[in-house]
C-alpha cells in the first residue's frame, strides 16, 4: 500500500473501486458521465465501473439517463451517470466525501516541489471542496517543468475524481496582477484556500 493509499480514508472504508466512483460522482455533482469517461477519470476498468454503477444505482446513490453532456466539451450521447441529489442521504454522503477526500497537504507540497523552482503554492477549488473557484492550483515560479507538473497532477486526479485546473505565473507577473486586483487572483485568494509555500511573502 502506498503512502497515498494509506492516507485515503474513503478507499479504506469503502471498496476502493466503489470509493473512486463515489468520489468522482459526488465531487462533480453537476455533471454526468459515460462509463468510459468514469473509468478513465477514476483510474479503473470500464467493466468494473459498469458493475459498481449498477450497484450504486440500485441503492439510489447514482441516477442514469439517456442523452448528451451539458458541458460544451462533452457532447457525446449515451447512457450517462450522475450523483442523485434526491437520494435520501445525498447531502450527508456528499459532505462526508468532501470532508475525507482532500489530499494530505504535505504530500501535495512534496510532489509539487519536484516540478521546478517554486515561490508560491496556493491550493483552492477541488483541494478544499469548493468547485466554484476558477482554479484548483495557483503557482508562482521562476521555472517549471510542465511535463513533470502534468504527470504529478494526473496522479492526483483519480483521488479527486476530476481534472485539476492550474495556473502558473512568473514572479513579476504575479506581483503586477496583485497590484491591479486581478479577478482570477481575487476569486482565489478572497475565498478559503490553502497556502503551502510563500517565499518572499508574495501573498
List CB contacts of 180: < 8 A, sequence separation 6 or more: none
Please report, for residues 54, 102, 144, 203, the alpha-carbon distance to residue 140 in angstroms, rounded to integers and kept in the order given. Answer: 44, 22, 9, 11
- Identify the pLDDT of residue 69: 64
Of the listed ranges 7-11, 28-32, 36-40, 60-64, the least confidently predicted one is: 7-11
Domains contained in the chain, CATH given: 3-100 (1.10.10.10), 105-201 (3.30.460)
The pLDDT tens digits of the residues spanning 33-71 come to 999 999 988 889 999 999 999 999 999 999 999 877 665
Identify the residue whose cell numbers are 453532456: 69
Q: For all residues of the chain together, what is the average pLDDT?
A: 86
pLDDT at 3 over 70: no
DSSP strand pairing (166-169 vs 137-144): parallel
Cell numbers of 4, please?
Answer: 497515498
d(CA 144, CA 103): 22
Cell numbers of 172, please?
Answer: 513579476
pTM > 0.85: yes or no? no
Report the candidate in 71, 73, 186 with the shortest Cα–Cα distance to residue 138: 186
d(CA 189, CA 38): 31
The pLDDT tens digits of the residues spanning 120-175 come to 999 998 887 777 889 999 999 999 999 999 999 988 887 776 789 999 999 999 99
Amino acid at each position: 500500500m502506498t503512502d497515498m493509499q494509506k492516507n485515503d480514508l474513503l478507499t479504506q472504508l469503502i471498496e476502493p473501486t466503489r470509493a473512486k466512483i463515489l468520489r468522482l460522482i459526488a465531487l462533480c455533482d453537476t455533471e454526468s458521465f459515460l462509463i468510459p469517461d468514469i473509468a478513465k477519470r477514476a483510474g479503473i476498468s470500464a467493466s468494473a465501473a459498469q458493475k459498481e454503477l449498477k450497484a450504486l444505482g440500485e441503492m439510489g446513490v447514482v441516477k442514469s439517463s439517456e442523452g448528451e453532456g451539458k458541458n460544451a466539451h462533452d457532447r457525446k450521447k449515451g447512457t450517462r451517470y450522475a450523483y442523485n441529489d434526491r437520494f435520501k442521504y445525498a447531502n450527508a454522503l456528499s459532505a462526508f466525501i468532501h470532508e475525507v477526500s482532500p489530499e494530505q497537504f504535505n504530500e501535495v507540497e512534496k510532489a509539487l516541489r519536484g516540478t521546478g523552482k517554486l515561490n508560491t503554492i496556493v491550493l483552492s477549488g477541488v483541494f478544499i471542496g469548493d468547485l466554484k473557484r476558477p482554479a484548483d492550483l495557483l503557482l508562482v515560479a521562476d521555472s517549471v517543468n510542465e511535463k513533470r507538473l502534468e504527470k504529478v497532477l494526473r496522479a492526483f486526479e483519480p483521488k479527486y475524481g476530476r481534472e485539476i485546473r492550474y495556473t502558473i505565473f512568473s514572479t513579476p507577473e504575479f506581483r503586477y496582477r496583485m497590484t491591479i486586483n486581478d479577478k482570477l487572483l481575487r476569486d482565489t485568494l478572497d475565498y478559503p484556500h490553502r497556502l503551502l509555500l510563500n517565499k518572499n511573502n508574495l501573498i
